[in-house]
Structure 1
Amino acid sequence: MNGKFSTVLASLVVLQACSTVQQTELDKQVSALSTCEKIDALVAGHPKGFPNLRTAQTTSKYMDVWKARYHLVGDSCQVWGWGNGKFSYVCSLTEPNKAVAMEHFDQAKEVTQQCLGESWSLKQGERDQGEGTKAEYSVSGRNTVVTIVAASSPTLFATEWKTYYFVGDAADLK
């Protein structure tokens, strides 16, 4: 019995090592991508559920959340998955004030526009609810949108500002 357990344990260690090597190789490939290549990969990966972007998974009653392999805003982007094959890439960054949030918003918008190109149209304006600005890029024939938001986020003692970066279905932002 002890020999079988040792064999199973050794097999699991080898499988884990192989998985780690594959992850490390994928991480190397991802780190070599330019920002535009990452945005292109997000847009292409959205209909498939961002399979090469997802890392550590947390599951709850309502959705699955994975840490993202790269971050376009801040350093804590996630992939959200909830029934029926719906997935979104979501980043948020808490800012010290509105000016910094708007600076990051403008930078993200500029880079995104350069990367997506002329075929994508931009709709920009005030948010539907709350103070802030929203820029949404869409292209005819696709459900995928790229949305950047600078928004106030009132707390008990002060109002924070946040910058969000979203890739997913437009209907998921409502």
Structure 2
Amino acid sequence: MNHRQFILPIALLSLTACQQLPADVQNHVDTMSDCDKVLALTRGTQDDFAQLKGSEVSSPLMSAWQPKAHLIANSCQINQYNSGRVAYECTKSLSNEADATALFNNVEQQLNACLGSSWQHSQIKTHSLLYTSSAIDAKITLSQGTSLDRKTPWVISLEISQ
């Protein structure tokens, strides 16, 4: 398995400082259903997640924002790369494979339950799924793998982008 795909997001997340959203915004997000969050994020690819960007995060490598909704337990960020590409990215590190597999399966079930019939998913490699839609110009990639961290070597990553 290619471990490099997990190292950059982990490094970027570790370089950023967390900032809290205003209470009224956070309360609204907290009352959104899981499916509301998924659908808002898939629609957000059309305008670079403008409505979902929270506080800007200090990052020397790119522009980044704390999102108003996290699909994986406060592990997500909206990143704008030098190429102009904007992506909603989540990376969660876990200490054992069973927990990682359970989280991967939960996120997969959530996506399958929330995305409409215009969405299809395919396995692009072992423990990696790609969701695409004929109605929305967006893609979702969900992956499970390992990193070089000895305490939390199991990594789940989710990316929503165009």
Relative to the length of structure 2, the TM-score reads 0.76
Give the match for residue 172 of structure 1. none
C-alpha displacement at 1:74, in angstroms?
A: 2.5
Give the match for residue 162 of structure 1. 155
The alignment covers a number of residue pairs equal to 142
| Aligned partner letter, 2:143 | V
Native 8 Å contact 2:147 2:153 kept in 1: yes
C-alpha displacement at 1:166, in angstroms?
A: 1.1
C-alpha displacement at 1:32, in angstroms?
A: 1.7
| Aligned partner letter, 2:161 | G
For the pair shown, which has the larger CA radius of gyration, 1 or 2? Answer: 1
Unpaired runs of 5+ in structure 2?
A: 1-20
Cα distance in 2, alignment partners of residues 62 and 94 from structure 1: 21
Cα distance in 2, alignment partners of residues 29 and 158 from structure 1: 35
Q: 1:152 aligns with which of 146, 150, 153?
A: 146
Give the match for residue 17 of structure 1. none
| 1:31-110 mapped onto 2 (5 Å cutoff) | 31-58=30-57, 60=59, 62-83=61-82, 85-110=84-109
Q: Deviations over 1:143-172 (max 9, x none)?
A: 3111111111124x5770111111113xxx
| Aligned partner letter, 1:166 | E
Give the match for residue 118 of structure 2. 119
C-alpha displacement at 1:81, in angstroms?
A: 0.9
Native 8 Å contact 1:80 1:87 kept in 2: yes
C-alpha root-mean-square deviation of aligned residues, in Å? Answer: 2.3
Q: Deviations over 1:101-157 (max 9, x none)?
A: 111101100110110022211111425xxxxx10111012543111111111124x5
| Aligned partner letter, 2:117 | E
Q: Taking CA–CA contacts closer than 8 Å with sequence separation of 6 or more, which of the two structures ends up with the larger relative contact order?
A: 2
| 1:17-28 mapped onto 2 (5 Å cutoff) | 23-28=22-27
User: Taking every aligned residue pair, what percent have the same amino acid on both sides?
Assistant: 25
Relative to the length of structure 1, the TM-score reads 0.72
Cα distance in 2, alignment partners of residues 142 and 117 from structure 1: 11
C-alpha displacement at 1:61, in angstroms?
A: 5.5
Unpaired runs of 5+ in structure 1?
A: 1-21, 128-132, 170-174
C-alpha displacement at 1:44, in angstroms?
A: 0.6
